[in-house]
Amino acid sequence: MKARNYQVLNKLILLIISVSLFLLTGSLVAAPPVVTVSAPNFGLGGTVVNLTGSAEDPEDSALTFLWTQIQGDTAEISDADQPKASFLAPFVAAGQTFIFRLTVTDAENESAFADVSLDIGFTDPPVASIFTPPTTVLEGSTVSIGGQGFFLGEPLTDLKWEQIAGPSAPLSSTTDTNVTFVAPEINNLSGTNEKVELEFQLTVTEPVNNIQVADTVVITVEDNGITASFGDGFIPTQTIDEKPFAARATTGNLVGLAPFSLANATNNANFQRPRKTPLGLIKLVATPDESGAAVIEIKLTETLPDEFVMFSYADDSGWQQLADSQFSFNMARDLITLKLQDVIGSTNAGDRDDKQGLIEILTGPGQVGSRVVASSTIGSGALGMWSLIIFGVLGMFRILTGFIKPGSRLTSRMKEI
């Protein structure tokens, strides 16, 4: 009822204005619209503020609306040609007064306006921060970078990683807090291309107002000094004992490449440890394609003998020989092709990582032969058993000799024997 009374009052005022103009001029002159506006008294930087307007026209003609900003740091007005508009309050170093104006024009091109003011207070904006990664790395090394976003002291979970400059270096994830990549090959055959720069960006989003902020990092990749030529796309690196080899992904992406020390492969319970492992173990991490598959090629500088196959290792299951369907050699036996599948919650020898969209394997060529029992297994197994038998016999002998007295029947019987 109050709103209707207000509208009636407005119309009455407009009528009085029109009659007054008619009495003064002798003709009916079009009167401008009457404009009213409102807005909250206060808003925070980084929040959406609503502006509300309305207008009445004496002749009830069609009206057009236009919101403009009169004072304050620049703010982009949404729906500026509608009675109701909004703007995203900018972050300000200190409190500011913002003034917005609604101008209304009728069909006779008569216009009027009204202003509304409000204060925008200081608020810390969202922050995107990349944790300090190494600034210089060698080609073929696995690089880890991490980052996070915060708003009003709380972590933001909407993260987006992307590479924005440099030779392609696929990331292990675009949304995780910590991601990895393999420093790409440097083509330095001419001796002039000794390093390249990669630039990565982390964008975080504040979900309520959809505010996005970003941070970037530049990482320099230098030549690792390996002179062997492996071919296009192969990333050169070396084993623990500095034997060069190279790897590349032909399906999916290679996001982790590192040698793994055999000294850390201590689970030999299944007796499948190979006799010889010329490369030791290689830790490969890959992101698969849409079908969950990844194909990784490993190029060697020497050929492998015929009795060599591919093995994998995991702390919980020990050594396993890869199935024939999971690997192949070229005719020269200096190129290994690994066919891996992303598997969740399985002991599949081709994936020791439980995360969807990531394949991880410790693998390497090894010589097949008779079952080899490592010294740690012998010490705790076979030798331990023989020790128990020997100590048991000695113990029984001491017990018997302790209970048998000289001159007893058993002693006499033993002498007869």
Domain ranges of the chain: 32-121, 124-225, 228-380, 381-416
* pLDDT for the residue 381: 39
- Percent of the chain residues past pLDDT 70, beyond the cut: 77
Asked if residue 152 has pLDDT above 90, the reply is no
**Would you give the DSSP letter of residue 415?**
H
* Distance of alpha carbon 30 from alpha carbon 11, whole angstroms: 14
Write down the architecture of domain 32-121 according to CATH. Sandwich (2.60)
- Cβ atoms 362, 283 nearer than 8 A: yes
Q: What's the pLDDT at 403?
A: 41
Quote the DSSP letter at residue 31. Answer: P
What pLDDT, on a 0 to 100 scale, did the predictor assign at position 380?
A: 34
Q: According to the model, what pLDDT value does residue 348 have?
A: 56
Instruction: Give this prediction's pTM.
Output: 0.66
For residue 248, pLDDT over 90 is answered with yes
Residues 6+ apart with CB under 8 A from 169: 163, 181, 182, 183, 184, 198
Distances (CA, A) of 30 to 27, 108, 231: 10, 7, 83
As a whole number of angstroms, the distance between CA 157 and CA 366 comes to 44
Could you tell me the pLDDT band of residue 407, with boundaries at 50, 70 and 90? very low
Rounded Cα gap, residues 147 and 200, in angstroms: 11
Confidence of residue 47 (pLDDT cuts 50, 70, 90): confident
- What are residue 108's phi and psi, to 5 degrees? -90, 10
Rounded CA-CA distance 294/360 in Å is 11
The least confident of 124-133, 183-192, 312-321, 357-366 is 183-192
pLDDT exceeding 90 applies to what percent of the chain?
A: 57
Tell me, what's the pLDDT at 2? 38
| pLDDT confidence of residue 66 | 98
* Most confident among 2-6, 22-26, 239-243, 366-370 (mean pLDDT): 239-243
Assigned token pair, 88: 């995203």
Q: Which two structure tokens, joined as six digits, stand for 160?
A: 């987006």
pLDDT(15) > 70? no
Of residues 25 and 205, more confidently modeled: 205
Query: Token digits for 85?
Result: 């508009």
pLDDT of residue 179: 96
| φ, ψ dihedrals at 382, nearest 5° | -65, -50
List the one residue out of 68, 74, 61 whose CA is nearest residue 31. 61
Residue 376 has pLDDT above 50, yes or no: no
Q: Name the range with the highest mean pLDDT among 167-176, 370-379, 390-399.
A: 167-176
Least confident of 20-29, 95-104, 162-171: 20-29
Q: Give, in degrees to the nearest 5, the angle at Cα 184 between 179 and 190.
A: 160
Closest CA to 354 of 341, 342, 339: 342
Whether residue 11 contacts residue 2, with contact meaning beta carbons closer than 8 Å, is answered with no
Distances 276 to 266, 307, 365 between C-alpha atoms, Å: 16, 10, 8
Q: What span, in angstroms and rounded, lies between the C-alpha atoms of 322 and 316? A: 16
Kindly report which listed range (23-37, 166-180, 364-378) carries the lowest average pLDDT score: 364-378
Give the highest mean pLDDT range of 39-53, 117-131, 348-362.
39-53
pLDDT value at residue 395 = 53
pLDDT of 276 higher than 80: yes
Do 39 and 116 contact (CB within 8 A), yes or no?
Answer: yes
Residue 355 CA to its chain's centroid (Å) = 12
Q: 32-121 and 124-225 share one CATH topology? A: yes
Q: Indicate whether 36 pLDDT > 90.
A: yes
For residues 268-292, give the mean pLDDT. Answer: 91
Of 3.40.30.10, 3.40.50.1980, 3.40.50.2000, 2.60.40.60, which CATH number belongs to 124-225?
A: 2.60.40.60
Question: Is residue 410's pLDDT more than 90?
Answer: no
Q: Give pLDDT, residue 95.
A: 83
**Tokens linked to 221:** 């990749």
Residue among 355, 353, 354, 340 at smallest CA distance from 175: 355
Quickly count: other Cβ atoms within 10 Å of residue 267's Cβ: 17
